[in-house]
Amino acid sequence: MVLEFLFEYASSSLVYDKVLSRVLEKSEPEGRLVKTDTQIKLYVEAEDSDELEKFANDLSLELPHSIFLRNTEVNVVDAMPDNDFVLPLVDKPALSFCPSCLSKVLDETSEDYYNPFSECDVCGYGSDGKRGNYKSLFEQIASTISSGAVVMVNTFYGEYYLGKLDAKCNYVSFDVLSYDLATISKYTNVTKYETVALGAIEKPLIGLKTNLKFKIDFEEVEEELLRFKLADDFILYLTMVELHKLGVDCVFITKDKMAHGSELLIADFKETMEPIECVVGERNIIILGGDKGLPKFELTNEVVIPYIGTFNSVIKEHDFSEKTVVGLNMSKDYHNNILVYGKKFGLIEYLSFKSEYSSVAEIFKAIIDTNETGKKLLTNYKNEYTELYEKVSLITFEEKELNIYKIWGIISIVLGYSNTNDIYKSADKLENNAKSFLGTKGPRIDYKLQNINSKVYLDPLMVIRTAMTFKLAGVDSLCLSYGVVESFVEFLSGQLDEIKQNMSNDVVVASGSLLGNKHLFSKLDKEVSINHELYFNKELPVDGINIRYGGNELLHT
């Protein structure tokens, strides 16, 4: 009897390959590995079904979950394959600990009990430090943190400061390190898909709406949006185990320099790495940034057009050069548009989201000049919000070109959501409002098209006008902000349906840091996938234009 274990795995890190090879070496049944770019197949043969069942159980105990694992299947097949996969000699990835290492470190009968230097060929740990039982040291560090002090800790990938969530963390940029998934579920609105991702071997950071409260200057403060993660090396993990025993299940973690009471310096990191940050939808996961646990990509020195570079990176990662591809470029920093690429006709810009305004006063004048409805809208806005109108009318923009995110920033300013004149910070405010909205539907904001010199653009005035209309109607800030984001995705979905009808494209790819908005990504991932094959970068950050695939060569095909 031959069993085929199929893993759809989108990473080149070889973690699964190594785990499967290790299990095969220790098992009695004969087995073979076969690998393609997107699949790993493990074949195991035995006459006794009980033997195969034991193998499957042993495999489940050693195989970690990964954010790059898309699907698994087990099938009965006729025979073993003739070919076999041989593991290449590559550097170990800087991953979190694998299940095998974790079981040894927590086993009181193991010589690696509370030894953070457990050696492993799978998860990347080495024996550079002095091997031994460090339990008393972790108990001491946990006691120091529990008493209210800040501790400086050397992990295997960088220097961090840990402490209880209190007044101290108000003065630094921090994330939340949690003892387990149950703790994260207790304090956040984490979804089941995010829970699975948080527990993966990559141990990513995920931004979540939280109800955590802590005191600053004797006043209770609530941070609505924070990034959460689980411990991703044994230094942090064993510290959290001891903190849990003292009733502390989450602490702040930061790289910002802080006054501290103690230091834990047993680890000696070779290079500083950033944990990866993800956004999780029902079908897909994207990487916003970070490099820990990812293969090292070759940096390019080419001069690139940002939105072309990101578009090309997705095409090349998925090998779509022979297909007709529609690309959504949604960066916060760069030009936004919809591109279409085909081998026969090359690359064209189907729709641009570019607009140019130098001030809020110019936008107000353009709205007045549009028609009588626009003139009436500005009159009502000025009468209702006189002080706000006079304040924002003085704001000018340094940016020569506006994109979707900057338009959102202008909306945030005009609606009075932001206390700053900075477009980016104002857009952040609107975006955070949208992330904090707990409802399911916002008001419909008009994203309309306009023709300028025979080219199609998004009309930013209509977006701003309808947002102002709902402001005057009394719609609250969270709901209205969510409507701005939600309506944009619905607009994109409609455009993609029209393009598919006219150009018969094969796939849609999306890139850009705007995908970091949880509501935007989840809605795009869910709704666009109904009528289109939707793809994102596999292992590259969504705005990683200068990594590996940064060139503009598709422009010249």
Is the per-residue pLDDT at 367 higher than 80?
Answer: yes
Instruction: Please give the mean pLDDT across all residues of the chain.
Output: 86
Confidence band of 550 (pLDDT split at 50, 70, 90): very low
DSSP state, 528?
Answer: I
pLDDT of the residue at 272:
85
Tell me yes or no: is domain 99-279 CATH 3.30.1490. no
pLDDT of the residue at 298:
54
Domain with CATH 3.30.70.920 in the chain: 2-77
What Å distances lie between residue 454 and 241, 350, 451, 457, CA to CA? 64, 12, 6, 10
Is the per-residue pLDDT at 217 higher than 50?
Answer: no
Query: From CA 287, how far away is CA 40, in angstroms rounded?
Result: 22
What Å distances lie between residue 58 and 49, 67, 71, 478, CA to CA? 14, 21, 19, 49
Query: From CA 543, how far away is CA 511, in angstroms rounded?
Result: 7
The encoded tokens of residue 355 equal 């607009």
Cβ atoms within 10 Å, residue 550: 22
CB 296 within 8 A of CB 12: no
Hunting for tokens 């759809």 — which residue is that?
Answer: 8
475 membership: H or E segment, kind and range: none
State pLDDT tens for residues 488-511: 999 999 999 999 998 889 999 998
- Strands 285-289 and 213-216 come out as unpaired
Range list of H helices, 354-421: 360-370, 372-384, 386-392, 404-414
The encoded tokens of residue 260 equal 């501290």
Q: Cα 131 to the chain's mean position, in Å?
A: 35
Cβ atoms within 10 Å, residue 297: 16
CA dihedral 23, 24, 26, 27 (to 10 degrees): 110
Confidence band of 220 (pLDDT split at 50, 70, 90): very low
Confidence band of 165 (pLDDT split at 50, 70, 90): confident
State pLDDT tens for residues 388-403: 999 999 999 887 789 9
Burial 243-258 (b: 16+ CB within 10 A, else e): bbeeebbbbbbbeeeb
CB 391 within 8 A of CB 415: no
- 256 three-class SS: coil
State pLDDT tens for residues 36-92: 778 898 999 888 888 888 888 888 888 899 999 988 999 888 888 887 766 665 555
Q: Which of 333, 404, 393 is nearest to 358 (CA)?
A: 393
First to last CA, the chain: 50
State pLDDT tens for residues 258-311: 989 899 988 887 778 889 999 998 888 999 888 887 766 554 444 445 557 778
The encoded tokens of residue 491 equal 């607009």
Angle of the 15-26 helix axis to the 49-62 helix axis, nearest 10: 140
Domain with CATH 3.30.420.560 in the chain: 311-354+494-556
Query: From CA 265, how far away is CA 226, in angstroms rounded?
Result: 27
Model-level pTM?
Answer: 0.86
Assigned CATH topology for domain 311-354+494-556: Nucleotidyltransferase; domain 5 (3.30.420)
Average pLDDT over residues 201-213: 89
Q: Kindly provide the residue ranges of all beta strands, DSSP E only, lying in 465-535, ordered along the sequence.
A: 507-511, 534-535
Q: Which residues contact 224 (CB under 8 A, 6 or more apart)?
A: 209, 210, 432, 436
Find which of 124-138, 174-188, 527-541 is predicted with most confidence, using mean pLDDT. 174-188
- 554 three-class SS: helix
- 107 three-class SS: coil
Q: Which of 152-166, 294-308, 456-470 has the lowest mean pLDDT?
A: 294-308
pLDDT of the residue at 307:
59
Query: From CA 534, how far away is CA 532, in angstroms rounded?
Result: 6
Domain with CATH 3.90.870 in the chain: 99-279
CA atoms within 13 A on the CB side of 149: 14
Cβ atoms within 10 Å, residue 414: 24
Class of the CATH-defined domain 2-77: alpha beta
